[in-house]
Copies of this chain bind each other. A is one copy, B any other.
Amino acid sequence: MPLTLIGFIGTAAGFVSTITFLPQVIKIWKTKSTKDLSSLTLFFLFLNVSLWLVYGILINDLPIMGTNGIVLSMIIIMIYFKWKYK
């Protein structure tokens, strides 16, 4: 199994991760509406990405810390929006 393929997929996945919630943040910012978003799903996303960030810190892996740090900041913005635009 070629390790370069795994490395490529990992890099691609990391890049897609960081931008995943950007369109959602922009959409809410434009529409000021979060009615259809599940609070519990936002909470689980927060929990999940926080655990990933802790994992990255524990194994001292900079890409995991960076990716999940960016994603976590977007999730926190969405939670703030969910609270602001009820």
Chain A contact residues, CB within 8 Å of chain B: 1, 5-6, 9-10, 12-13, 16-17, 19-24, 26-28, 31, 33-41, 44-45, 47-48, 51-52, 54-55, 58-59
Which residues from B are CB-within-8-Å of A35? 33, 35-36
Which residues from B are CB-within-8-Å of A1? 58-59
* A interface: dominant SS: helix
How many protomers of this protein does the assembly include?
2
Which residues from B are CB-within-8-Å of A28? 36
B6 with A51: CB separation less than 8 A? no
Which residues from B are CB-within-8-Å of A16? 44, 47-48, 51
B13 with A41: CB separation less than 8 A? no
